[in-house]
Amino acid sequence: MKIVVAEKIAKGGTEALKQIAGATVIGPEEFAADRQKALLDADALIVRSAVQADEALLSLAKQLKVIGRAGVGVDNIDMPAATRRGIVVMNTPGVNAVAVAEHTLGLMLSLARQIPRADATMHAGKWEKKSLQGSDLKGKTLGIVGFGRIGRKVARRALAFNMKVIAYDPFVSLEEAHREHVTMQSLDEVFSAADYLSLHLALTPETSGIINAANIQKMKPGVRIVNCARGELVNETDLLAAIAAGKVAGAALDVFVEEPLKSDALRASDKVLLTPHIAGSTAEAQDAVGVAIAQQVSAYLTRGVAQNAVNVPSLSDIEYRELQPVLELAERLGVVMAQLISEPVTAVEIAVTANYEKRAPLIANAALSGLLANISQDPVNLVNAATVAKDRGIETKSSADLDEPFCTLRLVCRGKQTERSICGLASANTGPRIVKIQETHVDAPLERDLLVIENEDVPGAIGNICSQLGAAGINIGFFSLGRGLNGSGRAIAVCSTDVSVPKPVLEKLQALHEVRNLRSIHIPR
C-alpha cells in the first residue's frame, strides 16, 4: 500500500507508517515535485493545513481510502467530495488539549501580572516597578464557557492556582462537573460571577458572537476575557467598546474573526494581549498530532478501524440515495430534541422501522450527531457521534422494532428528571416531518424556525398565539395542532415561522395564561 505524507509530520509518525507491512511512504518533497504521480495509486493521504484536499486534488487519487488530518480543523478538506468517493476523513481532536490549556493559563497570568508590558519596558531600558503591580489568580473566580476536553484541563490547572472554578455547559451533568471540583451554573450566572472568563466552545449559530455588548453588561466590572477557541465567538467591536468604557479590564485573544489579524483597533489597545493562533502549537503537541494521525491511518489501512472519523462511512451511490431521507430525518430530530430537553441527557434510545435494521446504528449516529452538534467543540457526525456520546457518559441504544403507523423513527432522550420523545416520518417527496411529540400527534415539516407550544386545550388559545405573532409581523408558514390523549386538557402546537421569533415576542407568548411551555427551535438550513 502507498501512503502520501503531503506535509511534514513528526519523525515518530513517519516511522510508524514505515512499520506497516508492505507500505511505501511518499514524503512531502516527492509530493510537491509531482502531485499527480504521488497520488495516482495512493491508499492514504496525510495533510496538515496548507494542502487543499479539494475536488481537483482528490480527482488525482483514484484509489484513495483515507485522508488523515494532522490536527483538528478540516476546512482544507472537501468533505462532500471525499464522502462521495468513499474516502474516510479523520482528524486528531484533543491531542493538543494540554497545549491549549497551558496557553490559556499563560494568558491569564499575563493579564494578571502585566508580563508583556513588563518585558517591553525592561527592553526599552525602563524600570517601572511601581506601575506594574499585578493581582493574584488565587481566590479569583474563573468562569469556563464550554466544559469539554480543553475546558476541563483548564479547570484542573486553575484549581492548582487556588482559583474558584465555575462552568457553563448544558450537556454536562452536575455529577460529572463535581468530579472535576467544578460548579455548574447557568450562562448568565457564569457571566455575572467570573473575574476571568475563558471560552472553550464550538462555533455554532447560537455561540457566534456570544461575547457581545448585551452579555458583557451582565459581567462584573473588571472582568478579564480569554479566547483560545474560535475568533467568531467574540464581537471584537463590542469588546473594545467595553474595554474603553472600563467594564472589561483586559482581554487575551489567540483567535480572531479574520486571520491573519487585520484589526488595527485590537493592535492599538494596550488592554488586549494578542497571540497569532498558537495555543496548540507546541513541539510536544505537534509531535503528538503527527504520531496520532499516523497510528490512526495505520489502524484503518490494516484493520479497518476508523478512529476520529469526521464524515460518513463509505456507502454505494444506491445505498446513499436510499438512506439519505432517513439520515436527514434523524439528524433534524436530534437538532429538535437538543432544544426541547432542558437538562443534561443521560440516555438516548433510537428506534427505526424494521426495513432499516441493517442501517439502524448509522441512523442512530445521525440522530446523535444532530443532538450533540451544538454542544461539542469537536466535530460530531455519522462516524464519531456514538463515541462523543459515550465520552459524555450518555447511554445509547438503537433498534429496528418501531411499529407505529406513519412513523419512520422514534427518538427518546432521558435526563435525571425528565423524558422527551419525538417521532418523525422520512419522505423523499415532502422532506422530513415531525409527527408526534410525547404521545401527541402533530404533523409539521422539519425546516426553518419552529415554535413548539404546549397549551391548555381551551377556546381562544390558538387565536391568542397567532395574534401575538401577527402583531409582531411574523408570518406563519405552517401550523399543526395535536390534542392530548385521555382527556388531558392539554394540546401541543408546532408552528413554523418565516423568521426566528425574537425574545420579546417569545416572552409575550410565554406570558399568555393558556401557554404552559414554549420552545423556540432553530433547524439549520
* Residues classed as catalytic: 230, 259, 277
CA 390, CA 383: separation in Å to the nearest integer?
13
Please say whether the beta carbons of 82 and 89 come within 8 A: yes
Beta strands 183-184 and 248-253 are unpaired
Distance CA 198, CA 196 (A): 7
Judge contact between 166 and 143, C-beta under 8 A: yes
Separation between Cα atoms, residue 135 and residue 463, nearest integer Å: 58
Q: Give the strands of the sheet with 164-168, arranged side by side.
A: 183-184, 164-168, 141-145, 196-199, 223-227, 248-253, 272-274
The two beta strands, 409-414 and 419-425, are: antiparallel
* Set of cell numbers at residue 7: 506535509
Q: What whole-number distance in Å separates Cα of residue 409 and Cα of residue 249?
A: 51
In which region does residue 419 sit, left (phi positive, over 0), alpha (psi from -120 to 50) or beta (all else)?
beta
| Calpha distance 30→359 (Å, rounded) | 41
- The vertex-85 CA angle with 83 and 89, nearest 5°, equals 45
Q: Provide the β-strand partners of residue 203.
A: none
Task: Report the C-alpha gap between 511 and 273 in whole angstroms.
Answer: 45
